[in-house]
Amino acid sequence: DQQVKQNSPSLSVQEGRISILNCDYTNSMFDYFLWYKKYPAEGPTFLISISSIKDKNEDGRFTVFLNKSAKHLSLHIVPSQPGDSAVYFCAASGTTSGTYKYIFGTGTRLKVLA
């Protein structure tokens, strides 16, 4: 049972435009969400996160939006740059149990065209 889904395996965007990556989850116990970026032959690197008590978190060009009622989050990158081309994973965790177990989506490959 895939609790975190990224339904778009790939996305192409022109440089300077907005990139929107989507993520859906099914477990209502999830209360913390993260986005990671992964380049080929490297491990994922943390990008931005959001707690379920917020609906938006912004860090420079990156903004994450959380819609708890829809169990949906999205990552906006504005403006997109060629260096943003990578695979983006969303991850979710339910922290009430005290063990920090993270469930990852299958990733969306973003290609920013120069």
Partner 1 sequence: DTAVSQTPKYLVTQMGNDKSIKCEQNLGHDTMYWYKQDSKKFLKIMFSYNNKELIINETVPNRFSPKSPDKAHLNLHINSLELGDSAVYFCASRGDRASHEQYFGPGTRLTVT
CB of 69 to partner 1, least distance (A): 22
As a whole number of angstroms, the distance between CA 95 and CA 49 comes to: 14
Q: Which is nearer to partner 1, 96 or 114 (CB)?
A: 96
Residue 43 binds partner 1 (CB under 8 A)? yes
Map tokens 């990671």 to a residue: 36
Spatial CA neighbour of 12 closest among 21, 3, 1, 2: 21
As a whole number of angstroms, the distance between CA 5 and CA 98 comes to: 24
Q: Which is nearer to partner 1, 65 or 104 (CB)?
A: 104
Residue 34 binds partner 1 (CB under 8 A)? yes
Report the interface residues with partner 1, using CB under 8 A: 32, 34, 36, 41-46, 49, 87, 89, 93, 95, 99-104, 106-107
